[in-house]
Structure 1
Amino acid sequence: MGSINPSFLHIGSTVGALLMALMVIFIRLKASDRPVTIRKILIPPLGMSTGFFMFVVPEVRVSLWWALAAFLAGWFIFAYPLIKTTTFHEKEGLIYAQRSKSFILVLLGLLLVRTLLHEFIDRYISIPQSGGLFFILAFGMIVHWRVFMLRRYSSLVPQ
């Protein structure tokens, strides 16, 4: 069984990240036309959590400290732009996410930062490990953003 050239893995992961970012942009633009519900807030991080199964593979595993640092970077740094650009409005008794013009720029900026960090980190750890770290970073970012959304949504829904 032959090995895969690392540069192909890097190109593949970058293209994959770009496609995922475009998919998120498309889904978010469509979602702003539908009312927000608790279920719609909670499903993305729950669905994403299945990605932790990648750590069953030994080549993907990283130290607990690195994983914690990635999660905290996602939680405290990368979630901030998403939180700042997420607002809700009420229409006919339903809560909708306000479409933000800066949301697309925020996501593309996060993708650029991810790509630049990827270049730096790949010098020190393997491509599967960096993929795992960026997954943990993204998970921290999404969880914080969705916790914010849930709190904001709960404050707007009549009791």
Structure 2
Amino acid sequence: MFDNIPSHYLIIGTTIMAAFMGTFALFVRLRAQKKPVSAKKILIPPFAMSTGALMFIFEEFRVAPLQIVEAVALGLVFSVILIATSKFEVRESAIYMKQSKAFPFILVGLLVFRIILKTLFADSLDVGELAGMFFILAFSMLLPWRIGMLIKFKKLQKSQIIA
């Protein structure tokens, strides 16, 4: 599929795309903090992202079992950071994400880390394989984070009803 395009062009193109997507995600998250949260808003991103797993239909995106374990492990480590920094607050009887000064830095840090990893592994892994690993890493980070957010949200929601 990518045989006619030199790999360094693919690496540069996907890195630029990742930077744009990361910037977009940052602005979306910062804007979302101004609106009340709901269970639906918490759960939509993992469901929407899960469609990306269709990439594994194509051979060039498939990764070895050890690479899957590595990507999942790294994603879980990153999710712990995101879970720890995601907090809710009640304002005007609605639940909002608490604005965290650390969140933009965490997102930018994760993006920079991703670019560094991509640069380091670009010579040893195929571009498609690398894309598959980063999808697995991102999904392994997003799903536990959102489940953690949902648990915190439900606890706060329940305590608000009781109070």
**TM-score normalised by structure 1 residue count:** 0.94
- Cα distance in 2 for partners of 1:155, 1:48 equals 25
Alpha-carbon distance in 1 for matches of 2:74, 2:147 = 16
Q: Deviations over 1:65-104 (max 9, x none)?
A: 21122112101x1112222221100012211001111111
Could you tell me how far apart the structure 2 residues matched to 1:156 and 1:34 are?
16
Give SS of 2:90's match.
strand
For structure 1, the 5+ residue unaligned runs are: none
Instruction: Tell me the matched-pair count.
Output: 158
Match of 1:129 in 2: 129
> Hey, what does 2:44 align to over in structure 1?
43
CA distance in 2 between counterparts of 1:47 and 1:25 reads 17
Task: Describe the superposition over 1:108-147 as per-residue Cα deviations: whole angstroms up to 9, x where unpaired.
Answer: 1001111111122222210111011011000010011101
Q: Distance in 1 between the 2:69 and 2:40 partners?
A: 27
For 2:18, the equivalent position in structure 1 comes to 17
**Cα RMSD (Å) of the superposition?**
1.4
Unaligned runs of 5+ in 2: none
In structure 2, give the amino acid aligned to 1:63.
A
Aligned to 1:71: 72
- Structure 2 distance, partners of 1:87, 1:155, is 12
**Paired amino acid for 2:78:** F
Instruction: Say if 2:78 is the partner of 1:61.
Output: no
Matches within 5 A, 1:1-159: 3-75=4-76, 77-158=77-158
**What TM-score comes out, normalization by structure 2 length?**
0.92
Percent identity, aligned pairs only, is 39
